[in-house]
A and B are shown apart, each in its own frame.
Chain A
Amino acid sequence: MEALITTLKKEIIEVLNLEEMEIEDIETDAPLFVEGLGLDSIDALELIVLLEKKYGLKIETAEEGKKILFSVRTMAEFIKGNK
């Protein structure tokens, strides 16, 4: 799980162009949106594309998306649970 979390943090930095950020700057349990990294709606779409492209996983509903994209840990749990 920890390896997956580290990989996800690297991928988030890359796909969202968070160039001034290091892996250590992203807290595993902190909210990704508004607080925490302060991501926006375009970033959310980009994370949905990341899950589809790299992990072959689709988020079916907006409600499900809110839970899955809450933090790096919830994303990792979604990936692990659907492998």
Chain B
Amino acid sequence: MLLKNLKITSSCIICFNKVIINDKLDFVEKNYKSFPSFIKSVYRNYKIGYPKFFKMDNLSKLGFITSELLLKQDDLLSNYKNDEIGIIISNSGSSIDTDIKYYNTIKDKSNYFPSPSVFVYTLPNIMIGEICIRNKIMGESSFFISEKFNPDFLCNYINILFNTSKIKSCISGWVEYEENNYESFLFLVEKENKKNNGRNINFEPENILMIK
């Protein structure tokens, strides 16, 4: 059953050297060179100050920064207990970029040095873990892999979570990274717009597509 009172109260998109927060262009890297230098510029521009960022793989850096910009504009999670916040993210490529990097450390048997710090990122839900650690989120979390972004599925799944678990807010969306191609789109769903911030859109599949 779809809940009528669920709202999308914030959104953030990072793609093609741009950051868009609540439908407004907020940052553009004019001399774009590569994803690693772009995402570092975003990190420094917003003064995020979290040294562990530099140890993350590209997928986690992308999801982590998107979540920071989604949530930190108005400290959106401060009204909730740790186990009242859920996080449900999806993509199509899983952790393929890091999987290939890890494979490159083990494919040559005469130069066989498996990298522990690369290996730990060979699952896409590690990105969710990084966001949870940063924000002390302890509610429901899942990572789904589908060929294309599927707002109907996410909407249905998140409604079930609101109906059956403790969560009162949920971060959701799509975070994809593969060989310098990237797209990240996260939004916050709440029962009510507690902070009365930028967005107040009914949480429905067609509306998710509209803001993507």
> A interface vs B, CB < 8 Å?
15-20, 42-43, 45-46, 49, 52-53
Contact = CB atoms under 8 A, between A and B. Distances in A.
Chain B interface size, as a band, is: 10 to 19
Contacts of B116: 42, 45-46, 49
A81 B51 CA distance: 33
Contacts of A16: 55, 117
Determine the main DSSP class of A at the interface with B: helix
Interface string B99-128: 000000000000001111100100000000
Nearest to B44: A20
Contacts, number: 27
Nearest to B49: A20
A16 B40 CA distance: 16
B57 to A, nearest CB: 10
Interface in B114-150: 114-117, 120
B54 interface: yes
Contact of B120 (A19, A42, A49): A42
A20 B54 CA distance: 8
Contacts of A20: 51, 54
Contacts of B113: 49, 52-53
A35 to B, nearest CB: 15
